[in-house]
Amino acid sequence: MSRTVITFGTFDVFHVGHLRVLERAAALGDRLVVGVSADALNERKKGRVPVFSERERLRIVAALRVVDEVFVEESLEAKRDYIVTQGADVLVMGDDWAGKFDEFADVCQVVYLPRTPAISTTAIIEHIADL
Ligand code: CTP
């Protein structure tokens, strides 16, 4: 039986840490679905408007070979709905979220993957701003 994996993120200023988490998520199943967070959600969550719009971020993530489907994540509260609607068997999150999504263990397997060290969108933006 086919196994669907779901993950969520902003994926702004796309970098190799993003690629690696998506590659490892894809390897856990047969179909990878990615919820890319809406611009408005980002502003609320990180207090920053993304460099690239949700339309652009969605297009970049959708173009990756390991990604089968993308959608805009409009609300953090809707996570359970997204998981169920997509028929996800596995929820993958970076370990910066370790333990935070255990409540969904009743509908899918919850896996936290180690973040790639020493890279983040925030660090890239700060690095460029300092040049
Ligand atoms: N991620 C990762 N390794 C990194 C950076 C991100 O595995 N070095 C993962 C996160 O754990 C998450 C996904 O990539 O599962 C999307 O993360 P996102 O928040 O969009 O990227 P960050 O680079 O962490 O962004 P920011 O600096 O704005 O928090």
- DSSP character for 92? E
Taking only the tens place, the pLDDT of each residue in 75-130 is: 999 999 999 999 999 999 999 999 999 999 999 999 999 999 999 999 999 999 99
Distance 90 CA to ligand 1 centre (A): 18
Q: Is 18 in the pocket of ligand 1 (CB under 6 A)?
A: yes
Q: Is 115 in the pocket of ligand 1 (CB under 6 A)?
A: yes
The pLDDT score that the predictor gives to residue 21 is: 98
What is the model's pTM?
0.97
CA 18/CA 9 separation, integer angstroms: 9
Mutate to test the pocket of ligand 1, among 6, 12, 18, 46 (most ligand atoms within 8 A of CB): 18
For CA atoms 125, 98, 32, 76, give the dihedral sign. negative
Distance 17 CA to ligand 1 centre (A): 7
Taking only the tens place, the pLDDT of each residue in 44-81 is: 988 999 999 999 999 999 999 999 999 999 999 999 99
Distance 34 CA to ligand 1 centre (A): 13
The pLDDT score that the predictor gives to residue 46 is: 85
- DSSP character for 23? H
Taking only the tens place, the pLDDT of each residue in 1-35 is: 899 999 999 999 999 999 999 999 999 999 999 99
CB-based contact 13:124 (threshold 8 Å)? yes
